[in-house]
Amino acid sequence: MSKSRAALTHLWPTLLVLAVLAGLVLFAWYPDPFRGFEESGKFSITLILTAGLIGPALTGLVYKKGKRGLLFDLWIIALVQLAAIAWGTFSLYQNRPYFMIFTVDRFEVLSKRDVDLASITDPKFLDRPFASPILLYANMPTDPVAYQRLLQEVMFEGKPDLQFRPEFWSLYAERKQFVLQKSRALQDLRDARPDSISAIDEQVKSHGGDINQLRFVPALPKNSQFAVILDAGSGDVVDTLAIDPWLNQEVSE
């Protein structure tokens, strides 16, 4: 076997592994529009791709038919490559968007690492769909004493805000009418974003054709932003739109 053939023999299974990982990352762990990777995510992707390419290259470099210790060298190359790919994959898995929590006037997208999982007592809060985060609602305390206590904890005691604390959570389906009250007409977004009219019109067309039946709220995943499209009657999340969702106050309600 020649050096080039040895490298190709290593390359094909590596490409298969990378293809499977790409499918998981792009369609299950980070589906559109949740692909705004932070620096750690970009590093993990770079590590995986680098390991995928360097492994076959090193195989071609060290391969020599009849070489003493060749099998040991190839095993070391394979193990180091698999370790790098596994570490990068695990990091991407841990940091994947898991919770999309409505808080005050927006959705915030969090990973499991952002939340103290030991404080989650309701298993429904971990019942994530296959290809999108679980939808939740962060309840602002209505009791004045509890509200002041929350402010005290966040501002002076260094505790996380309510969207990071499962004791304030409800399932989105149980609170979606409150989200509707904070939403804005999709027509407002269309008026404010003339460069995105065609994209918005496509959304409207795919959801019945009546823009008055759709509303939106902003969403803030890591390192990106988009609009979450709601059904104006039910409050159900029906779609997302990759567009700047923040409007000036002078845009009419």
Rounded to the nearest 5 percent, the helix, strand and coil shares of the chain are 55, 15, 30
Q: Does residue 164 sit in the same domain as residue 196?
A: no
Average of per-residue pLDDT across 18-45: 89
Predicted pLDDT at 210 = 94
Residues 156 and 74 reside in one and the same domain = no
pLDDT tens for each residue of 57-105: 999 888 888 788 888 989 999 999 999 999 999 999 989 999 999 999 9
How many structural domains is the chain composed of?
3
54 & 109 share domain:
no
Mean pLDDT of the chain: 90
Reduced to 3 states (helix: H, G, I; strand: E, B; else coil), residue 9 is helix
Q: What is the pLDDT of residues 195-232, one digit of tens each?
A: 999 999 999 999 999 999 999 999 988 778 999 999 99
If asked whether residues 173 and 230 sit together in one domain, one would say no
User: In this structure, are 90 and 103 located in the same domain?
Assistant: no
How far apart, in whole angstroms, are the C-alpha atoms of residue 93 and residue 85?
Answer: 12
Residues 33 and 74 in one domain: yes
Q: What single letter denotes the amino acid at residue 10?
A: H
Looking at the structure, do residues 154 and 112 belong to the same domain, yes or no?
Answer: yes
- Tell me if 223 is assigned to some domain: yes
- Residue 240 phi, psi (nearest 5): -135, 160
Using one digit for the tens of pLDDT, what is the confidence trace for 108-140? Answer: 999 999 999 988 988 999 988 888 899 999 999
pLDDT the model gives residue 252? 38
Write down the residue that tokens 């394979």 correspond to.
78
Question: Is the residue at 153 inside a domain?
Answer: yes
144 plus 215 within the same structural domain: no
Residue range of the domain that includes 227: 184-241
**CB neighbour list of residue 104: distance below 8 Å, 6 or more residues apart:** 138, 140, 182
DSSP 81: H
Rounded CA separation 233/222 (Å): 29
